[in-house]
Amino acid sequence: MSILKVSRMGHPVLRKKTKALDKATVRTPAIQKLIDDMMETMDEYHGVGLAAPQVHEDIRLFVAALDMARGDEPTPPIALINPEITPIGNEMVDDWEGCLSIPDIRGKVPRHREIKVRGLDRDGERIELRMRGFSARIIQHETDHLDGILFLDRMTAFETLTFLDEYSRYWVKNDDDEEEEE
C-alpha cells in the first residue's frame, strides 16, 4: 500500500464533478489498490474521510471511518462508490468541519442531521446506509467532494472560520460552555 499525495484547495481536480464507476470496474485490481491506498492515506493524515478527487482521481469513490459499531468493536473504514444521498427529514445542524485538502482550517457548516445513502461497496455490491449525526456529516462532506464542492462553499457565514490552533484555543472551550448551558 502507499500514502498518496493529497490535493489542496486551489487544485482544479477539487472543483470537477467526478465520473461514476461501473460495477464491473469496481473489483479490478487498480480500484481495489486505490481503495487500500486511500484508507492508508486517510489513516496517515488522521482523517475520517477521503474522496478520490483529493488524491487526484476523477471517480465517484470515497473512503470513510463511520461510527456504525454495535457494542465495543470499532467498525473498519468503508469504501462507498457512486453514492446517492437522500435527506431524512428537514432538520439541519451547524457543526465544525475540516478537510485534508484545506489543512489547519475549521468552520461551522450546516448539514442534514439524518440521511440515507445508496451506492456500491468495495465488492461492487449495492449498499444502503441510514446515518445520523457525525457519520451523516462525513458522508455529505465526502459526497460534496465528488461534485466539486468544498466545505467552505456550504458555510452560510464566515464568523466561525478559524485556524486549527485558534479553534482549539478559543472555540472548543466556547462550544463546551454552550453545551453546559443547554
Mean pLDDT in consecutive groups of 10 residues from the start of the chain, 182 residues: 96 98 96 98 96 98 83 82 98 97 97 98 97 97 98 97 93 60 32
Distances (CA, A) of 46 to 10, 21, 122, 143, 176: 22, 27, 21, 19, 23
Residues in a beta bridge with 20? none
Whole-number pLDDT of residue 180: 36
Whole-number pLDDT of residue 74: 73
178 in catalytic set: no
pLDDT digits (tens, 9 = 90+) for 93-146: 999 999 999 999 999 999 999 999 999 999 999 999 999 999 999 999 999 999
Place of cell 465488492: 123
With beta carbons less than 8 A apart as the criterion, state whether 82 and 134 touch.
Answer: no
Residues in a beta bridge with 97? 107
Residue boundaries of the structural domains of the chain = 12-181
Q: Spell out the alpha helix ranges (H) of the chain.
A: 23-26, 29-44, 133-146, 151-154, 164-166, 172-181
Q: From the candidates 84, 142, 166, 182, which is the catalytic residue?
A: 142
12-181: CATH, from 3.40.1010.10, 3.90.45.10, 3.40.1360.10, 3.40.50.2300: 3.90.45.10
